Amino acid sequence: MKFNQNCILKISLILCCSLVMILQSCKKEYTTLKVQKELLADIENLELKTNHFQKLAEKETDLNKLKQAFAHTRLAYKKIEWAVEYFTPDPARFINGPALDELEVAENKFLPPNGFQVIEEILYPEYDSKNKTTLVREIKMIKANLNQVKQSISVITISDDFVLDAIKMQVNRILALGITGFDSPLAQLSIPEAKIGLNSISNLISKMDYHGGESTKLVKEIVNSCNEASKYCQTNNDFITFDRIYFITNFLNPIYKNLIAFQKTNAIKNIDQNSVVNPKATTIFDKNAFDVNAFIPSKEYQYTAEKVALGKKLFSENRFSKDNTRSCTSCHNPKLAFTNNLKNNVSLQGGKLARNTPTLTYASLQNAQFWDMRQLDLEKQSSDVIQNKEEMHGNVSNIIGFLNKDKAYFKLFQQAFPKSKQIQEWQVQNALASYVRSLNAFDSKFDKYMRGESNVYSNQEKLGFNLFAGKAKCATCHFIPLFNGTVPPKFNKTEHEVIGTPENQNNLKISPDLGRYKQHQMEQLKNAFKTPTLRNVAITAPYMHNGVFSSLEQVIDFYNKGGGIGVGLKVENQSLAPDKLNLNDKEIKALVAFMETLTDDKYVE
């Protein structure tokens, strides 16, 4: 049988296309196996370094040698951090987690900390040989958890979509935790460790170039940016003087943007998970970088514009209070970033409430509400306030009849909840919560500069940010870019702190408010309060849970002295480091100047 030329050409094209697809498939499979093989080899290298560190710790008392072994071991960990944190988060917590107890408040128990950060506290600033047994035990704990990591990594499939997701998370980890000194507060090895993390990103992305054309171009740009960032870390490795705002805007942001472009070019799917960070955001500073729906109780509570419109009207409704005299706006003034500038608001009976009114702006980007974190979501928060005898002394169910009869309200409820024939209590709570979820503008002077929308940012403001994320250690609790206690890079957990807030400015006595301890009787929670957002902080004075400080300068002075312990109070469970920060007047002014740039546009005069 004879084939004409057109048939032969078609068959040839089909064969060529099939061959290309087979080659691409093989390349992907090869890349996946190579990444896994290298990762396992790096884990084994870390195990070797950990073994050496253990042997040294068992017989050596020379501090410099121990510190050197510690530094080399953790650098080896930083090379694989992207994978350990992503694929095996449980053992990761006990390899390089914070040197604080892991609290299980629902079960009224805690897990003591383990790993590199505990070892750092043993070795820095000075090592007492009496702690040798503890040091060796911690090293052994790292080894045990590394064994779990190796077993898990050896059996999972490490596909491109997971690798890319882990890389993006690692960029945000370096930005928010790495260069801020979160996991190296005493040794201050953050900059060399960031360099290692960037090298890993460069190595990983270079293995994923399998399409050519625009894909190859993006890979080259990412690799070049990582290499340049690595060089910058090499030549600017001092923790105190490191220019973080330059590093983020010139290196980390471009790397992240190109990673998103690479993902889109190669049609690499997003990982289907309840991610707080929008997978399509080009940087973590984008207006749409954070998804408020990640913090809702369940799917029916999804955020919509119709719910916001209803919630805004309900927010000013006096009928929620027992005597019809109070609404949410009575304490949360929209013109004052939803605070009231009072040390303590007046109770329904005419006395003073125990705590300061916090801002509701950005409150939706937390998974704990109130100073004492007693409610997990905004729906329960609104109900809690309405029922509180000192605040409103009302009941949501009591207003349902009125809302069903009011034509304007009923129409708004139909628009917000079209599948429902009658107004229900959960809908009222959801509408109020949805309005609060709409209060995240992300349009401050800081935001615009970080997104590259404006070049207007003074040297003093830049210095303030660098101090905030460096010497002053503010960003180790108020995490970038939310500047609250919601922990990066997953942003799915909100932290509390014990800072030893005084009762009065004379610093003679700690505040008698026990905070979270009232709900959970654990010693670690005495005087523990949620870490609030610092966005709009310049217009939300006074500060702290009891409004004890009237200015940002007073707040900084308190931290500069080392918190409660630093000013002479007895705070046995203080989680804030009691060391002095040694900030001078110029640096304090710069910090204030920076925090003033966190004010949303609508509040700037």
Q: Which residues of the chain have pLDDT under 70?
A: 1-32, 209-210, 272-274
Q: What is the C-alpha separation between 24 and 315, in angstroms, rounded?
A: 56
**Pick from 228, 230, 88: nearest CA to 166:** 88
Report the chain's terminal Cα–Cα distance, integer Å: 85
| Torsion (CA) 316, 319, 325, 328 in degrees, nearest 10 | -30
What is the full DSSP assignment across 92-110?
HHHHH--SS-EEEGGGTEE
Report whether the peptide linkage leading into residue 185 is cis, meaning its omega lies within 30 degrees of zero. no
Residues 6+ apart with CB under 8 A from 294: 274, 275, 276, 491, 492
Pinpoint the alpha helices (H) of 243-325. Answer: 244-247, 253-265, 305-315
Q: What is the DSSP letter of 515?
A: B
CB 50 within 8 A of CB 12: no
Q: What is the C-alpha separation between 479 and 249, in angstroms, rounded?
A: 17
Write out 193-226 in H/E/C secondary structure: HHHHHHHHHHHHHHCCCCCCCHHHHHHHHHHHHH
pLDDT at 20 (0 to 100)? 47
Burial of 346 (0-12, 13-18, 19+ CB in 10 A): middle
CB atoms within 10 A of CB 323: 10
**Pick from 202, 208, 204: nearest CA to 229:** 202
Residue 289 CA, chain-centre distance (Å), reads 12
H/E segment holding residue 530: strand 529-530
pLDDT at 271 (0 to 100)? 87
Residue 300 CA, chain-centre distance (Å), reads 26
Residues 6+ apart with CB under 8 A from 484: 362, 365, 366, 478, 494, 531, 532, 533, 534, 535
State the sign of the Cα–Cα–Cα–Cα dihedral 228, 234, 237, 241. Answer: negative
**Pick from 294, 300, 253: nearest CA to 275:** 294
Report whether the peptide linkage leading into residue 542 is cis, meaning its omega lies within 30 degrees of zero. yes
Residue 263 CA, chain-centre distance (Å), reads 23
What is the full DSSP assignment across 86-149?
HH-HHHHHHHH--SS-EEEGGGTEEE---BHHHHHHHHSS---GGGHHHHHHHHHHHHHHHHHH
pLDDT at 414 (0 to 100)? 96
Q: What is the C-alpha separation between 232 and 179, in angstroms, rounded?
A: 12
**Pick from 477, 530, 236, 527: nearest CA to 368:** 530
Residues 6+ apart with CB under 8 A from 60: 66
pLDDT at 23 (0 to 100)? 44
CB 496 within 8 A of CB 503: no
Tokens of residue 150, six digits: 């190796």
Q: What is the C-alpha separation between 86 and 244, in angstroms, rounded?
A: 25
Q: What is the C-alpha separation between 172 and 571, in angstroms, rounded?
A: 33
- Predicted TM-score (pTM) of this structure: 0.93
Q: What is the C-alpha separation between 359 and 95, in angstroms, rounded?
A: 36
